[in-house]
Chain A
Amino acid sequence: MILELSEEALEYGREARRAFAAAGGDELLLAAEADPARRAELGTSVLAGLGAWELEPYADAESAEAAAALCRAAGHALLPYPVAERLARVGDTDALLVVADTNPAAPIGGLELTWTAVTLDGRLHTAAPRGPVHDGFVRELELDAGGQQSDAALAMGLVLGCWTLLGMLDRAIELTVAHVRLRQQFGQPLAKFQGAQFQLTDAEVERSGLEMLAKYALWSGHAAPEDAVDDALALRAAAIEAAEVVFRVCHQLHGASGFCDETTLSWVSRYSQPLRRLPHGLSATRELLATRIGRRGLTGLYTP
C-alpha cells in the first residue's frame, strides 16, 4: 500500500490550498450559503485553474492520488463545490453521487449539472434533483430504475468523499490547536492543561488512523479492485467515527464560541454534517459492510 501520497500529489494539494485561499477562502462558503446559485461560479474557475478536470482517478493511481489531495484541500478550505463528486464522475454526466436507495439525497443545491447516482449495491442511476434546497445544500433526488453495475464507481465515490471529510478534520484540529494556544483561563493558555492536551491527542490519533485507512482504500481501488468496495465501506465507517471524536473534542475545547457562526469551527462542523450522514450513518454503514464480508473479514495487508 502507499504510506504517503507521492511528492507530486502532496505538492498539488499544497498548491490547491493556496489557490482556494487566494480565491477567497472561507468567504466562498459564506457567499454560497447566502446564494446557493453562486456555487458553480465560486468553485469552477479555481478548480479549472488547478487542472482538476484533467485528472483521471479511475485510469491511473497517480491521478487518483492527486484527486485525493485535491479533495482533502477542498475539505480543508470548506470549498462550497462538490469536488469529490465531480472527480468521481462516470459516463457522460458531470458528477457521481453515492446515495441510499431510499430517500436519496445529496448536497447539490444550487448547481446546474448532470448527475449519475450510485446506490450501495453498485448500481448506476440517472439522478435528477427535486424539491427545495435544504440546509447544507442538501436536495432530494429522483432516480431512474438503474442499469449498469460499477463497483469501481461506488468505491471511488465513497473514498474521495472521505478524503474531503479528512480535510475538514485537518481544519477542525488546526483551528482548535490555535484556539487552545491563544485562549487563557486560570492564568495560562488552555494548551497548558494536560486535560485539554489529552483530548486533542485523542482527536489526532483518530485523524491519523483515518488518514492511513484513506490511503489504503485509495491504493486498493487500483491494486485490488475486487476488495475496493469493502475497503471503501470500512474507510467510510472509520471516517464517521473519527469525525465524531474530532468534532466532539474541537467543540468542547472551543467552548461556547465554537458553535457561534463568528468562529470558523461552527461552519466546518455544520458543513461536515451531510458528509457524515449521507448516504448512511455509522450503523447502516457497518451493517452493509458486515453483510458484504460476512465472516470472511477484510483482505487487509497481511493476508497470505
Chain B
Amino acid sequence: MTDPQAFREQVRAWCAEHVPTDWRATQADTSETEFAAFQQDWFATLHAAGYAVPHWPAEWGGGMSMAHQVVLYSELAAHDAPRLVLAFVGIHHAASTLLVAGTDEQRRRHLPAILDGEIWVQGFSEPEAGSDLASLRTTARRDGDEFVVNGQKLWASGGAHADWCLLLARTDPDAPKRRGISYFLMDMRSPGVTVRPIRNALGDSHFCEVFLNDVRIPEANLIGAENAGWQVAQATLGAERGMTMLELAERLGNAGLRWLAAACPPGDAVAADRLAGFEIEIAGLRGLCADLVERSHAGTAGAAGASIVKLYYSELLQRMTDFGAELGGVAAHTVLTKPQSSGWESGSWVLDFIGSWEWTIPGGASEIQRTIIAERGLGLPREPGVA
C-alpha cells in the first residue's frame, strides 16, 4: 500500500471527482425513498473505490491499515462527503458481531449482502431496559430447531428501512439476568414483526418501536452460544468505537467548526472567545480519538478509553450546536430543513442542537460512561445497592 501522504493525494483526487457537491441541498427536502436510494448509491460509489468498509479484514473486502483509514476519514470530512447513515449498523455493529462471534456460514451469508446494500438495525433497548439493558424482557422460547420470540424493542434507529436486526432476547428466564440472554440475527420480513415510527422533537421519525409477536427465528441464526448473548454483545459492542468516533470528530472539526467560524460576526470578541474554546476542545478530541484508535489496534487500550471519548464528544457536541443555534440567529431557528445523510453538524443548528441530546443517551448514556470511567478507569468501588 502507498505511504499515507501519497494515499492522501489519491483520496483527495477521488473526492474531487466523486463527492457530490449539491447533496446538502438535495437531501434537505427529500422523501424517505429518495434518501434510501441516495444512501445506497453513495455506498456503492464508496465501495467501488474500496472506501466503504476499509476496516473489514482483507478477505471480506477491507484490509486498509489504521494509518490509511485515519487519512480516508479525515479527507472525507474535509471534502464534506455525505455520511453512510443507513449502512452504519450493518458495516460496523453487524459486521463486527459476525466477524468476532459468527459462524463461517453466517459470515458468508451476510457480509457480502451488507456490501450489496443489506440494511441492519439494532434491537437491544426496550421500554423497561435502557441503561439497564440486561433487564430486557423480550423472550425467545425454543421450539424444536426454532426460537419463538415475543416482546417489544425501542429506539431502533432506522428500523423502517432495515432488512435484518441484531436482536437480544431472554432464553432462560430463571438464570441470573446476564446469563439468560441470547443473541440472534432476525430477518425483519419475518411474520410477526411490526415496526412503528415514533415522532421525535425534531419532527422526524427515525426512531422506531419494533413489536415482536410469535416471530420464529431458525436456530441457525443464533450468534454465539445459547444464553451467552450478553457476553457476545459485550465482546462486540464498542469494538468499532475508536474509528467511528474519529470520523465524527473529523466532521465536527471540519464542516461544524468551519461554518461556525464563517457565521461568527467579525470583531465580536465574545463570540471569537467561545469559538477559540471550541477549537481547543476539538484539538483535544482529535487527539483522544487518534490515541484510542492506535491503542485499540495495538491491544493496549485502557478499559475506560472509549467511554472518555464518547463523553468528551457528546458533551462538546451539545455545547457547539447550542452556540451554532445562537450565532445563526433567526435563520438558524426558522430554516428547519436538516439535510438527510449528514451527521450532527448539518448546519441546521437548532435541529442539530436538539438532535445532539441523543448523543448523551444511546450507546451507553453519559451516566453509564461515567460509571465505567469511575469503576474501570479509576478503580473506584461500585455504587452500593445496585442490582
Tell me the A residues contacting B by CB distance below 8 Å. 100, 102-105, 134-136, 138, 140, 184-188, 192-196, 244, 248, 251-252, 255-256, 258-262, 266, 269-270, 273-274, 277-278, 280-284, 286-287, 290
Contact = CB atoms under 8 A, between A and B. Distances in A.
Contacts of A259: 200-202, 354, 357-358
Given A138-B330, A186-B135, 9 more contacts: A103-B330, A136-B333, A185-B130, A194-B383, A259-B202, A260-B199, A269-B201, A273-B333, A277-B350
6 contacts: A135-B336, A188-B385, A251-B357, A252-B360, A259-B200, A270-B201
A94 to B, nearest CB: 22
Interface residues of B, number: 49
B192 interface: no
A299 B118 CA distance: 66
Contacts of A104: 330
Please indicate which of the listed interface residues A256, A281, A287 has the most CB atoms of chain B within 10 Å of its own CB: A256
In the A-B complex, the 9 residue pairs with the smallest Cβ-Cβ separation, listed nearest first, are: A187-B387, A281-B326, A185-B132, A134-B334, A259-B201, A266-B201, A103-B330, A105-B330, A186-B132
A105 B334 contact: yes
A43 B318 CA distance: 34
Contacts, number: 123
Interface in B307-356: 318, 322-323, 325-327, 329-334, 336, 350, 354
Contacts of B207: 256, 260
Nearest to A282: B326
The binding surface of chain A is classed by DSSP as: helix
B164 to A, nearest CB: 22
A127 to B, nearest CB: 14
A277 B333 contact: yes
Interface of B: 125, 128-132, 135, 154-155, 198-203, 207, 268, 270-271, 274, 318, 322-323, 325-327, 329-334, 336, 350, 354, 357-358, 360-362, 365-367, 370-371, 383, 385-387
Nearest to A274: B333
A9 B92 CA distance: 58
B233 to A, nearest CB: 17
Given A134-B334, A136-B333, A256 B386 contact: no
Contacts of A252: 357, 360-361, 365-367
Given A258-B357, A259-B357, A283-B268, A186 B201 contact: no
A269 B271 contact: no
Nearest to B333: A277
A261 B334 contact: no
Nearest to B157: A256
Nearest to A103: B330
Contacts of A255: 130-131, 361, 365
Nearest to B386: A186
Contacts of A284: 326
